[in-house]
Structure 1
Amino acid sequence: MSIVQIMQHYHHRLGISYLTAGESGPAIVFLHGWGAFKELWWSALRDLGRDYRCFAIDMPGHGESRIGRADQIERIAVLIADFCHDLGLSTIILVGHSMGGSVAVEMTLHYPHLVQRLALIDAAVDAYRMPAYTRIYLLPHLGWPTFRLTQAIGRAFRPLGQRIPHEHGGGWIRPWLRRASYLATFDPEGLYRILRSLFATRADERLQQIRVPTLVMTGQFDSLAPPAHARRLAQVIPGARYVMIPVSLHNPMDERPRAFTRALRAFLAETDS
């Protein structure tokens, strides 16, 4: 079996950095969460690139993607739709993780002709319903210093995080070190604006308008978007399928990459039939 090549690109007009894998098949667009990065999907790209054309995007203000005016969830959704249009992607399978799940829902609602299938991974949809401690960075007087401290911790661990390969096999510690080292490099003010928008964005009853095959996936021990939060999404979205990834936290694609791709492939095979 040949190894799927992963290539990095930059869309200059939109200011988006992205990875591609695979040369044929339906298109899958991967959207990571707040403070994360496109390489989070590396193992999924290697696997799914055998049968799909995969695109993993650095969200605005993350990695090498400029933030511009895309500092709100709805504006990010418009930007990603423009990206798909420019690349000639007329229909896509949209996979959104955490904040990327909120963006994915907005895209599905506003561009139903574009999004044919939807996968929400530990999705921060209706983030105001998530546990109160997830909003610690937004607390007056405490939030901003706490966030800067988090980035400082990431910088301290960056020498270790940079040594962890993208295909590290999963687990909890090494993925966390890698993620922390990336977060340390991002513009804090831009991330802060996006975070405020995330908690202000509400889908609520609009979720009932989603009419595409939908997968709602959660990590068994996710404390940010807990399984109860994911189950609610699956119950509200018509016909949604709910899957839990055992022994996973908030990033199953990074912590349990094989289990993640198996679950996603099963969903895609089911909707293909």
Structure 2
Amino acid sequence: MTVSTPTPTQTHQWQWQGHTIRYQSAGTDGPALVLIHGFGASSDHWRKNLPELGIDHRIYAIDLLGFGLSAKPTPTPDLPYSFETWAQLVLDFSEQVIGEPVVLIGNSIGCIVALQAAAIAPTRVRGVVMLNCSLRMLHERKRAALPWAQRTFSPWFQKILAVRPIGHFFFQRLARPSVIRNILQKAYARTDAVTDELIEYLLRPAQDPGAADVFLAFIQYSHGPLAEDLLPQLDCPVLCLWGAEDPWEPIGLGQAYGKFSAVTDFIALEGVGHCPQDEAPEQVNPLIRQWVARQVTRSI
């Protein structure tokens, strides 16, 4: 019996609109997959997936502008921290670095980035895999469905954080190992996956100049697209994987995405929380490989 050996991971830099973007890669053959992290994370959040998926794919994990080891410029009207900006970044990366249509795989807000990219340029995206897609419950169109206290408090909290000294003080209080660990242990159902290594991967970029402004810019971002806006626009197939114990993005609400025609499969991952790729890579990696082989490779 042939045993597949995980592939080594390499780190690179790429220039986009004058800004340095860090990405990681693995594998030399097969369909191209691009991994897109969630809010506050980086390509390191895919460290358990890159070597395995690289066995039979060319796999890339990118640090979105403003996160990880990528540049963190001050947001401007011409370059806001928005899903449109990040989607264009991913599309340009796919064209300039990879040079062919890709499968986009996202976690949390990374799913919205992937959907937005597929909606903008359908011929350049072969498929989308969503892992616990952000429901964006604080979006201006969804606040009415929130409990009274939450929908009343949230806009005021955003206004308070918009005062830069207050916002920066709040961010500094968040960017501490004990706080990050506590947040992750609430988001992860498998708390043993919350390791010192993971804490360091998330904490290090938060020390960079500009990190607080990126965080505060996104906290103010209560508009833009929702997954339910973008899914009807897609021509490519979509796989939904959902950690059933996610306290942030409840699976009961996420299951509505399974009703869209583009979604070929909706798979619940029992005993898993918000970040399945990190909590349960032994489940996620085979599911992605099987789905890409079935839904995407056949059409290439």
What TM bracket, shorter-length normalisation?
A: 0.7 to 0.9
Identify the residue that residue 38 of structure 1 maps to in structure 2.
43
Q: Equivalent of 1:8, from 5, 11, 32?
A: 11
* Per-residue deviation, residues 187-222 of structure 1 (Å, max 9, x unmatched): 01112213433x312243442121211101111111
TM-align CA RMSD: 3.2
Identify the residue that residue 253 of structure 1 maps to in structure 2.
277
TM-score, scaled relative to structure 1: 0.84
Q: For the residues of structure 1 that align with 2:172 and 2:277, how far apart are their CA atoms?
A: 23
Q: Equivalent of 1:92, from 102, 105, 109?
A: 102
Over 3 Å counting, the alpha-carbon distance change for 1:151 and 1:137 in structure 2 is: farther
Query: What is the deviation of 1:74?
Result: 0.4
Point out the structure with max Rg over C-alpha: 2
Q: Please identify runs of 4+ aligned residues in structure 1 that moved more than 6 A.
A: none
Q: For the residues of structure 2 that align with 1:21 and 1:149, how far apart are their CA atoms?
A: 37
Over 3 Å counting, the alpha-carbon distance change for 1:156 and 1:136 in structure 2 is: farther
1:139 and 2:157 correspond: yes
Q: For the residues of structure 2 that align with 1:32 and 1:77, how far apart are their CA atoms?
A: 12
TM-score, scaled relative to structure 2: 0.77
Matches within 5 A, 1:109-258: 109-124=119-134, 126-127=136-137, 128=139, 129=142, 139-140=157-158, 148-149=169-170, 151-157=172-178, 171-174=192-195, 177-178=199-200, 180-182=202-204, 184-185=206-207, 187-197=211-221, 199-203=222-226, 204-258=228-282
Aligned partner letter, 2:53: L
* Per-residue deviation, residues 129-154 of structure 1 (Å, max 9, x unmatched): 49856995982466576885565354
Question: Number of paired residues?
Answer: 265
* Per-residue deviation, residues 15-48 of structure 1 (Å, max 9, x unmatched): 2100000011110000001101111111111101
Question: Which is further off, 78-87 or 148-157?
Answer: 148-157
Q: For the residues of structure 1 that align with 2:206 and 2:91, how far apart are their CA atoms?
A: 28
Aligned partner letter, 1:12: Q
Percent identity of equivalent pairs: 21
Q: For the residues of structure 1 that align with 2:104 and 2:156, how far apart are their CA atoms?
A: 29
Aligned partner letter, 2:89: L
List alignment gaps of at least 5 residues for structure 2: 74-78, 182-189
Q: For the residues of structure 2 that align with 1:140 and 1:205, how far apart are their CA atoms?
A: 24
Q: For the residues of structure 2 that align with 1:105 and 1:92, how far apart are their CA atoms?
A: 13
Aligned partner letter, 2:50: L
Identify the residue that residue 30 of structure 2 maps to in structure 1.
25
Report if aligned partners of 1:27, 1:92 keep a CA contact under 8 Å in 2: yes
Over 3 Å counting, the alpha-carbon distance change for 1:206 and 1:64 in structure 2 is: closer
Question: Which is further off, 225-234 or 171-180?
Answer: 171-180
**1:43 alignment partner, SS class:** coil
Over 3 Å counting, the alpha-carbon distance change for 1:147 and 1:211 in structure 2 is: farther
Report if aligned partners of 1:222, 1:249 keep a CA contact under 8 Å in 2: yes
Report if aligned partners of 1:218, 1:245 keep a CA contact under 8 Å in 2: yes
Identify the residue that residue 268 of structure 1 maps to in structure 2.
292
* Per-residue deviation, residues 92-114 of structure 1 (Å, max 9, x unmatched): 01001111111111101011011
**1:243 alignment partner, SS class:** strand
Q: For the residues of structure 2 that align with 1:239 and 1:209, how far apart are their CA atoms?
A: 12
Over 3 Å counting, the alpha-carbon distance change for 1:9 and 1:235 in structure 2 is: same
Report if aligned partners of 1:170, 1:254 keep a CA contact under 8 Å in 2: no
